[in-house]
Structure 1
Amino acid sequence: MAAHRKPKQPPLSGQAGRTAATLALAGAATATVFEGSGHAEPQLTAAQVKAKVDRLHHEAEIATEKYNGAKEKADQARVRLDALRDEAARRTERLNSARDSLGAAAAAQYRSGGLSPALRMALSADPERYLRGAALAEAAGARQAAAVASLRGQLVDLDRLRQEAADRTRDLKARQDELNRHKATVRQRLDAAEKLLARLTAAERAAYEAGPHAHGGDAGRPGAEPRTDRSGRAALSPAAGPSPTAGTGPVRAPRTPAPTARSAKAVAFAYGAIGKPYQWGATGPSSYDCSGLTQAAWRAAGVALPRTTYSQINAGQRVARSQLSPGDLVFFYSGLSHVGIYIGDGKMIHAPRTGSTVRIASIDEMPWAGAARVG
């Protein structure tokens, strides 16, 4: 039987061949265009870059406050664990001393225990003296029995302490794991923000760093106002940033006097910190994050604030925005992720974000969340 084969098609030639070749090349070019556009990195405008960077910085600040809370709890767990270990060591030392004493008494009894009490009395040259000694021996035996009971109690207490220390060790490990997770989140957000900022020109980046935006603010000088362009919008200008020596010399007194001596000290401390760099997780004296600054300022006034924004708002009496006075803590965003110190005239001093410095800003720049009066 003959094999059935598909007839071989002759190659295209002439006009038909040229048309087919043209269509094939066009199809390949189209496929290349679509394939390339599917993987190309989108081009962002400077405004889009700045918006994304602001969002990343805000997410980093949320993670920073969670990091601060986890660090505070880890530090507390470490202190408790160290105290338990010290107490266990002291009790172990007392237990060993008690064991040594009982061991010596038991050895003495063994050495003198060869004769029965009746025979010892019969052989004694002074039976009355022996009876007095036997009474003393009985009393000593009772004390030893009490010592044994105490020893058993110490063993139980020591075992309890060691179990509690083991629990604290596991708690500390969990806190440290949580700490590392939040630290990784902060660094991830900041790294992503830095990569986005690298897309900007030097002038655009300088304008972003200095100008008012989500976590920016006025110039870091008391009483400074943002410059405006012809349209009336705040101008993004490097000149709006803080001077290199801001915070290192005398500063102008706030326009609104603080209501108490303590709040005046807290505000004065905040003014003195103007120009110092923001550093996430920092509590001073050379750098701060937002809650680190407020904590340090009120510590200088003799008031101990907790470490995080979401705990600081509960450290004092809540006050309405219309009733603010210098020294009050002002909080922003629904998650209470940012805090500053109110100084009057609708202004605050705060540590904005990574890449910025402690500065004066309007309280209208961020979504309002609440305020607290602590002293």
Structure 2
Amino acid sequence: MNGRRSAATAATLTCALAVLAVLALPGTAYADPKPPRSEQKLQEVRSEIDGLYRKAALATDSFNLAEEKADKQSSELVKLAQEIVKGQNKIDRLKKRVGAEARAQYRGGGLPAEARLMLSGDPQLFLDGAGRFREGQQATKGLMGELTRTQADLKIYTQDATDQWKKLESNRKKKEAAKKEVKKQLAAAKKLESTLEKEERARLLAMEQEAEQKAQTAWLDSGALKEIGGKATGAGKTAVAYATAQIGKPYVWGAEGPGSFDCSGLTSQAWLAAGRGIPRTSQEQWKRLPRVATKDMLPGDLIIYFGDATHVGMYIGDGAIVHAPRPGRDVTIAGAGSMPILGVVRPGN
């Protein structure tokens, strides 16, 4: 009995020593977990991620603008092609009429009409024929003038079509280059985010929310909201209703609904629902729409953010906006002053 106990004890001790030896080996999977990043390091990661998403937003604007221009040029090419076909058909008809006039003259023996009238020997016939001849001359002259003008128009349409085709190809290349840049920046951001532990992700989100709240509080403390009190117009109410109805839908770059949106896709579609077509990108919205002072903004107006105009939200009143923040986030309501404001534009009255 005691022998068996001694053997069992020895076996247990041998197994324990073997386990300890394995744990002591270099490169083992049982190393201590990586210590969490310090607040400073996490802030650096947050700044880097924000920078990558800003670069992606800039490339997204370039993509959207190239796509908008390409769509417009495609439409113009279709119209020009239709005009070219119409012009060519008209030229064919005019040439047939000119040919008929030439054949009529040939059937008259090749003599000019006035010579045939002189040789007729009938004064009355000569007078009657002279009037018709002048009318015929004017008609022929008009016919030739119309043919010349149509040929000139056709030449212009053809050149315009060639120019539009070149622009279309150029914007297609720009669109593809921008698409690659968007994917590159998003991949870099996601790769960096993947290095974060679950607890670090939560801390990072809390940092973002704290920074946004701090910026919003500073904006409100500046007295900005006290000066803002205008009422939305009918179109503005419609735009706000559309935009807020999209809350909860995901941000997808280049998307303009109905299931997902990027920032300017949301604002442009909201105003389209209100009956007003506006530029597709936040940068073009900033360039081409009428600007208003922040103190004069109304619900439905668009607030453009950052110095490069790479983000846009729609003011909905009470110091708030509705916007599509960035990849990985959903359409939501945020403080109007939670990001650096570049300015305000008004799509319509």
Alpha-carbon deviations, 1:4-53, whole Å to 9, x = none?
A: xxxxxxxxxxxxxxxxxxxxxxxxxxxxxxxxxxxxxxx99665444322
In structure 2, the residue matched to 1:167 is 163
**How much identity, in percent, do the aligned residues show?**
36
User: Residue 167 of structure 1: CA displacement?
Assistant: 1.9
Aligned length: 294
| Rounded Cα–Cα distance in structure 1 between residues aligned with 2:114 and 2:208 | 100
Is the Cα–Cα contact under 8 Å of residues 258 and 264 in structure 1 kept in the other structure?
A: no
- 5+ residue gaps, structure 2, are 1-36, 214-228
Alpha-carbon deviations, 1:309-328, whole Å to 9, x = none?
A: 233235234222x5555333
User: Residue 206 of structure 1: CA displacement?
Assistant: 7.0
Aligned mate of 1:84, from 80, 84, 91: 80
| Rounded Cα–Cα distance in structure 2 between residues aligned with 1:300 and 1:118 | 69
State the one-letter code of the partner of 1:213.
Answer: E
Aligned mate of 1:363, from 336, 340, 343: 336
User: Residue 159 of structure 1: CA displacement?
Assistant: 1.5
- The alignment status of 1:183 with 2:157, answered yes or no, reads no
User: Residue 373 of structure 1: CA displacement?
Assistant: 4.1
| Rounded Cα–Cα distance in structure 2 between residues aligned with 1:55 and 1:122 | 92
Is the Cα–Cα contact under 8 Å of residues 117 and 130 in structure 2 kept in the other structure?
A: no
Relative to structure 2, which stretch is displaced further, 355-364 or 332-341? 355-364
User: Residue 261 of structure 1: CA displacement?
Assistant: 3.4
User: Residue 356 of structure 1: CA displacement?
Assistant: 1.4
Aligned CA-pair RMSD: 3.5
Tell me the TM-score normalized by structure 2. Answer: 0.71
User: Residue 59 of structure 1: CA displacement?
Assistant: 0.7
Tell me the TM-score normalized by structure 1. Answer: 0.67
CA change 1:211–1:118 in 2 (3 A) is closer
| Rounded Cα–Cα distance in structure 2 between residues aligned with 1:121 and 1:346 | 90
In structure 2, the residue matched to 1:213 is 208
| Rounded Cα–Cα distance in structure 1 between residues aligned with 2:68 and 2:197 | 40
- The alignment status of 1:327 with 2:327, answered yes or no, reads no
State the one-letter code of the partner of 1:60.
Answer: A
Relative to structure 2, which stretch is displaced further, 196-205 or 147-156? 196-205
Aligned mate of 2:290, from 309, 312, 316: 316
Matches for 1:275-314 after TM superposition, within 5 Å:
275-313=248-286, 314=288
- The alignment status of 1:264 with 2:237, answered yes or no, reads yes
**Could you say what secondary structure the match of 2:316 adopts?**
strand
Alpha-carbon deviations, 1:314-366, whole Å to 9, x = none?
A: 5234222x555533322211111111122334322110111211012223432
CA change 1:336–1:112 in 2 (3 A) is same
| Rounded Cα–Cα distance in structure 2 between residues aligned with 1:157 and 1:327 | 44
State the one-letter code of the partner of 1:190.
Answer: L
- The alignment status of 1:93 with 2:89, answered yes or no, reads yes
User: Residue 274 of structure 1: CA displacement?
Assistant: 0.3
Is the Cα–Cα contact under 8 Å of residues 257 and 264 in structure 1 kept in the other structure?
A: no
| Rounded Cα–Cα distance in structure 2 between residues aligned with 1:66 and 1:175 | 10
User: Residue 144 of structure 1: CA displacement?
Assistant: 1.9
| Rounded Cα–Cα distance in structure 2 between residues aligned with 1:119 and 1:83 | 48
